[in-house]
Amino acid sequence: MDELTRLALVGTANLPADAASIAAIDALLPEATREQRLLWQAGAQAVYRQAGLQTQPIMLPPAAPVELQQQVPAALHPLLGDLLAGQLDELLPWATAHFAARHYHLPAVLLPMALRLNNKASRQRWLPLLGERGRWLAAQNADWHWAIQPQQAPADDALLAAHWHEGTFAVRRRALAQTRQRDPALARDWLAAALPQEKAEQRLALAEVLADGLCNDDEALLSSLLADRSQAVRQLAAGLLAQLPESAFALRMSERAHATLQWAQPETQGAFAKVASWLGKGNAPQLVVDPPLELPRDWEKDGIVANPSAGEGKRAWWLRQLLALVPPSRWGQLTGATPATLLPVLQRSDWAEALLSGLAEASCRFADADWAAVLVEQSLLAPGGSMADYGARLWQTLAVADQQAVLLRLLGADQLDIVVAVLSRQDGPWPAAVQQAVETMLAARQFADHAPGKIEPCLTLTALLMLQISDARLAALIAVLERNVAAFADRQEWIYRHLTDRAARIVALAHTRQTIIQETAP
């Protein structure tokens, strides 16, 4: 540390003497306070040193390669700037996909703006549009290297082993995942040797690799993890063992579930059967639910967690965990009834919430689309509680035809908030029937007849539909929106001004989409 820096840090009041600088500079300084003199010394010395620096030769990068794609039309460059600046976020997913599908690249002037993006999702959207010049430019700045897609040769066995034994944790996990695909037995050996030495979080991350290519040979290792010190690791092992139908664990869970849920076939004769038939319950089996009063020790050893979160009874909590580890199809096989027939029986039970949430978890775990189809609406319509947590996961389990049927039923029931929640997360184009149904509903809707709370989801559906329909039908959608908004445009309440502003933005976005389509037409 030089004397000037030391004096500045310690303070002139704490040191008796001034610091000496370069003699030629000190001689030229005027009389002043000690603080002023210190600042002049520091400034003069900085200039003195800069003046003495010599330039160093640098190697110029190679010229940017020739672009292989065509540039986005010049008329759209201002719109590209707005998209990059986050001013048209509603259009961003559609617009970037539209440009990428037509093999466009960004103009050079906007490349630095795109390369400075920090959001991972935005980076992935713009990556296909960087072009050759964008990738060349990214190579010149270490902060932009995210845009460079390295061409990595597949690692050989020796390199993977070196990464596993010598790399950082992230490198080791990647090496384990690759080895799992190439040599599952070797990957299991690595895991078995390494897990006892790892911390809980790392043990969980490494053991998750077993989910890829899960097979019966994994049973011994997974069974050993049921005794792991970490609850998260034990639960992971239990969930994976449950997916091995011939494993001892799966058979134990099935026996426990059959003892806890006791199904009886319905009466088929007599007055009771006639009454049940009139009530529409003639084919439904009867159910008796009897969870244990105390958690059996062997259940706990198999990963059933003893203590629930606040607000849930212990027996219901154990029941929910148990059902989540048994394939839901087992109940249809046992009773001969369909999920649609069994659902009302479960709903009438005193244990309904635990039963339904356990079955929802199992439907997701075992990818049971039949059970997901009858449970998804229950979860979507649940205002709160445990079932509400399963809506998105159950939705992903559904077949496309079932997704379409659910959406059409929700639209018919005017459950627009739920339709908005589902469609806003929908990747790719909507089913044609859903698109047509939303379009028809909006065309028939009279906003003036509804409270503001019912208008809001209509506007959101219009904004979502605007990104789905063809350009030829977009003008009709805009006309419907403008006609509806005109009915309350003169109202002065804040909520109606807000709705009017939202509608105006949707119209502007629709016109912007039209412009993009027209400018990029072949």
What confidence tens digit (pLDDT) does each residue in 356-380 have?
A: 999 999 999 999 999 999 998 878 8
Strand pairing class (104-105; 286-289) = unpaired
Pair 123, 170 in one domain: no
pLDDT at residue 389, as a whole number: 77
Distance CA 150, CA 456 (A): 46
> Contact, 363 vs 375, CB < 8 A?
yes
3-class SS string, 197-249: HCCHHHHHHHHHHHHCCCCHHHHHHHHHHCCCCCHHHHHHHHHHHHCCCCCHH
66 is a domain residue = no
223 is a domain residue = yes
Pair 313, 438 in one domain: no
pLDDT at residue 302, as a whole number: 93
Pair 389, 275 in one domain: yes
Write down which residue in 94, 123, 147 finishes a domain: 147
> Contact, 209 vs 177, CB < 8 A?
yes
Pair 325, 351 in one domain: yes
Portion of the chain with pLDDT greater than 70, in percent: 93
Average pLDDT, the chain: 88
222 is a domain residue = yes
Lowest mean per-residue pLDDT among 274-278, 346-350, 389-393, 500-504: 274-278
pTM recorded for the entire structure: 0.71
Write down which residue in 204, 221, 244 finishes a domain: 244
Is a pLDDT exceeding 80 seen at residue 165? yes
Q: Read off the pLDDT of residues 179-207 as tens digits, 9 standing for 90 and up.
A: 999 999 999 999 999 999 999 999 999 99
Pair 426, 467 in one domain: yes
Pair 389, 414 in one domain: no
Q: Read off the pLDDT of residues 89-132 as tens digits, 9 standing for 90 and up.
A: 999 999 999 999 999 999 999 999 999 999 999 999 999 999 99
Which has the closest alpha carbon to 287: 267, 261, 266, 269?
261
72 is a domain residue = no
Domain count across the chain: 5
pLDDT at residue 60, as a whole number: 83
Which has the closest alpha carbon to 113: 140, 81, 135, 142?
81
65 is a domain residue = no
* Residue 20: domain span: 3-51
Pair 140, 157 in one domain: no
Q: Which amino acid is at 415?
A: Q
pLDDT at residue 1, as a whole number: 57
Distance CA 269, CA 309 (A): 45
Pair 446, 489 in one domain: yes
Pair 504, 452 in one domain: yes
Confidence grade of residue 227 (pLDDT, cut at 50, 70, 90): very high
User: In degrees to the nearest 10, what's the CA dihedral of 429, 434, 435, 438?
Assistant: -140
Burial class, 180, CB count within 10 angstroms (exposed 0-12 / middle 13-18 / buried 19+): buried
pLDDT at residue 150, as a whole number: 62
Q: Read off the pLDDT of residues 247-271 as tens digits, 9 standing for 90 and up.
A: 999 999 999 999 999 998 775 555 5
Write down which residue in 398, 422, 445 finishes a domain: 398
pLDDT at residue 280, as a whole number: 47
Neighbours of 386 (CB within 10 A): 20
Distance CA 391, CA 422 (A): 9
Pair 93, 140 in one domain: yes
The pair of structure tokens assigned to 71 is 């540039």
User: In degrees to the nearest 10, what's the CA dihedral of 404, 405, 407, 412?
Assistant: 140
Pair 255, 237 in one domain: no
Pair 202, 236 in one domain: yes
Alpha carbon of residue 120 to chain centroid: 12
Q: What is the per-residue DSSP string for 43-82?
A: HHHHHHHHHT------PPPPPPPPP-SEEPPGGGHHHHHH
pLDDT at residue 279, as a whole number: 47
